[in-house]
Structure 1
Amino acid sequence: MIGMVLAAGAGRRLRPYTDTLPKALVPVDGETTIFDIALRNLAAVGLTEVVVVVGYRAEAVQARQAALESKYGVTLTLVHNDKAEEWNNAYSLWLAREHFARGVLLVNGDTVHPVSVEHTLLAAEQAAEHADAGIVLALDDHKTLADEEMKAIFHEDGRLAKITKLMDPATAHGEYIGATLIRPEAAQALADALQATFERDPNLYYEDGYQELANRGGVIRGASIGQIPWVEVDNHADLARAREIACHY
């Protein structure tokens, strides 16, 4: 299994920080960036081969690649998304499809969370209740939800029924936090579902690809991360929260 980080996004709501940097390289703890935390977490659970999907300001990641590899003891393989400023991230994840066959632990390049999330997903890989799941989603089932969150509902048997921002928060079982375990056996089906998703509408999210896969019969389950401090960094208020919590990891 390898690590994977989606770091192609522009993060326009974080300007002026993102005038010259991708969102993943915005600092949240001194000089430590969101990307630093992602790599540190992956390395801490033994995932030292990391695929990174880059796009907006990719040269900033390339310029730091050698230093990051040395600092965290990882090897980075960059996959370039030349449509990062035009299309949404269903296409970004699809571009890395050749790496799915090894199994991946995927994290979004705008999520600040402790390494316990990675431990939770790797433990789920071995758990009997997730044995049939090609994909396991890290789920916050404690947070009070609103409209912006990527919300999920599961069937009584624990299989994913629906994942979208566009649902009544009161009906959701929790929020998908932007970290996923993808087993090798789910790779081809996920790639096909992602392709169908961005070909239908290039503005769709990779979570819409998960929905497509679930609709096709793919088994996707959730794993609770417990009550931990984390944040998806979309705007300046999120960034302030990230800076409050990242220094405690």
Structure 2
Amino acid sequence: MIGLVLAAGAGRRLRPYTETLPKALVPVVGEGTENELAVLDLTLKNFAEIGLTEVAIIVGYRKEAVYDRKAALEAKYNLKLTLIDNDKAEEWNNAYSLWCGRDSIKHSVILANGDTVHPVSVEKTLLAARGDGKKIILALDTVKNLADEEMKVIVDPEKGVQKITKLMDPATATGEYIGVTLIEGEAADELADALKTTFERDPDLYYEDGYQELVNRGFKIDVAPIGDVKWVEIDNHDDLAKGREIACQY
């Protein structure tokens, strides 16, 4: 198993940071000090803590900043990093970005969005949920009060995920997908095909729309509730402030 990080996004709502950096490299701990950490650092630290030794990172917007830090990150977290270029990072949404990592998924991966601050307990929960024929397991927050912006999920106890979209009445949702998934290698080809169908239909769609495409085809996607855990998806400066509060606790 390896790690996979989606770090191609521009994060325009985080300017001026993202005028020179991809969103995944916006500092969340110790800004301006020798101990500065970005979301990518926190994710790599989690991966190393659960015993992974290789991580693939999808890069695109301001990718040179990730290339420049590659050797230092490898040394710091004792990981082998492979950078995969997304040539449409500034044009298309992340269904295409995940498709760019389709070969990495064949190794079985823990996928993490490059803008999600979360504790290593999330990865440990996903690993504990492996087995029993599960091919894709989503980390699900069933505690948080939901609103319109969240990636909401409806789950059937027997059939797994039935619906995953932001465009849902929050009151009907089982919980929120937090942007971390365990994907077994045997699901790689089916997922890649679903993602391709998704971005060819509309390049602005999310990879979660690819998950929905799989569900519509009869593929079972499971979930693992993460419990009462502090985490945040960093989209804007308010989120960044929350991420900095949370990151200091981990």
Same fold, judged at TM 0.5 (above)? yes
Give the match for residue 55 of structure 1.
60
Aligned residue type for 2:101: A
Give the match for residue 7 of structure 2.
7
Aligned residue type for 1:33: A
Give the match for residue 238 of structure 1.
239
Give the match for residue 33 of structure 2.
none
Aligned pair count? 245
- Counterparts of 1:91-170 in structure 2, within 5 Å, are 91-126=96-131, 131-170=132-171
Q: CA deviation at 1:147?
A: 0.2
Quote the Cα distance in structure 1 between the aligned partners of 2:63 and 2:71: 14
RMSD: 0.7
Equivalent residue of 2:129, what SS?
helix
Quote the Cα distance in structure 2 between the aligned partners of 1:238 and 1:39: 20
**2:159 and 2:220 in contact (8 A); partners too:** no
Q: CA deviation at 1:132?
A: 2.7
**TM-score with structure 1 setting the length:** 0.97
Give the match for residue 195 of structure 2.
194
- Counterparts of 1:28-67 in structure 2, within 5 Å, are 28-30=28-30, 31-67=36-72
Identity level (%): 68
Give the match for residue 83 of structure 1.
88
Quote the Cα distance in structure 1 between the aligned partners of 2:49 and 2:73: 14
Q: CA deviation at 1:101?
A: 1.1
Q: CA deviation at 1:184?
A: 1.1
Equivalent residue of 1:98, what SS?
helix
Q: CA deviation at 1:133?
A: 2.2
Quote the Cα distance in structure 2 between the aligned partners of 1:102 and 1:36: 22
**TM-score with structure 2 setting the length:** 0.97
Task: Kindly report structure 1 stretches of 4+ aligned residues shifted beyond 2 Å.
Answer: none
Give unpaired runs (5+ residues) of structure 2: 31-35
Aligned residue type for 1:81: N
Quote the Cα distance in structure 1 between the aligned partners of 2:203 and 2:213: 14
Quote the Cα distance in structure 2 between the aligned partners of 1:224 and 1:181: 13
Q: CA deviation at 1:158?
A: 4.5
**2:9 and 2:89 in contact (8 A); partners too:** yes
Equivalent residue of 1:125, what SS?
coil
Give unpaired runs (5+ residues) of structure 1: none
